[in-house]
Chain A
């Protein structure tokens, strides 16, 4: 099929799937006012989590994702982003997209969380820089992954309706 542009195939990856126990991690979690180390398990004590991995702040996919996620009904879930952007860059993103109060973002410049989830990929043309491939997970409070989507090509975006339905179902 000729799409008129090239979609890059990211190849297969051995990533975490629905039904798996979510990997545990601690990273700086950025709000509109500050950041502090927060374990995923601490968030899960408060309720289920929708964890959305996206390209670094400043890229167009990051902007698109955060245009789309707010304004939907997430049920009891907390919607949390994760990228390799610094906490400073995440704070800019939160300001620009007016996400304050409701949405928070994990900052993982070392990309270790993506490695734990099996979704790390090296950026072509940016030597030494790796990111998570686009991915979204709905995680229940017992740490079970109830829904998983991982991009197989690039660029790619979550099926937001499907993600929202999975979040409201948890």
Chain B
């Protein structure tokens, strides 16, 4: 349950291993995030397309940094370099 208004929103598909990989990374770093679940059918994912230009999930929006991105490997790398040990830019909460 989102506690207040987390800056990170994760667009995800139920049981999608690539999405779970991102979730694991967020959880490992203790980051608060909002989950928005979309449909298995690509054609039903206009909300994701509007954000990232593609209909693939996972996708994240980080209001803290203004970053919007897809592709789990890229997202994991972004989260670790932004919020992990030795990160340059920290989150504000």
Residue numbers of A with Cβ under 8 A of B are: 26, 28, 33-37, 39, 87-88, 91
Q: Are A36 and B34 in contact (CB under 8 A)?
A: yes
Q: Are B46 and A28 in contact (CB under 8 A)?
A: no
Q: Are A34 and B1 in contact (CB under 8 A)?
A: no
Q: Are A36 and B1 in contact (CB under 8 A)?
A: no
Q: Which chain B residues numbered 30 to 48 have a C-beta less than 8 Å away from chain A?
A: 34-39, 44, 46-47
Closest residue of chain B to A30, judged by CB?
B37
Q: Are A33 and B46 in contact (CB under 8 A)?
A: yes
B2 at the interface (CB under 8 A from A): yes
**A33-B47, A34-B11, A36-B34 given; A91·B39 CB < 8 A:** yes
Shortest CB distance A43–B (Å)? 14
Instruction: Bin chain B's interface residue count.
Output: 10 to 19
Closest residue of chain B to A38, judged by CB?
B2
Shortest CB distance A83–B (Å)? 17
Residue numbers of B with Cβ under 8 A of A are: 1-2, 11, 34-39, 44, 46-47
Question: How far apart are the CA atoms of A33 and B48 in the complex, in Å?
Answer: 9
B36 contacts across to A, CB distance below 8 A: 34-36
Q: Are A34 and B37 in contact (CB under 8 A)?
A: yes
Q: Are B1 and A35 in contact (CB under 8 A)?
A: no
Q: Are A26 and B1 in contact (CB under 8 A)?
A: yes
Question: How far apart are the CA atoms of A88 and B35 in the complex, in Å?
Answer: 16
A28: which of B37, B38, B47 is its contact (CB, 8 Å)?
B37
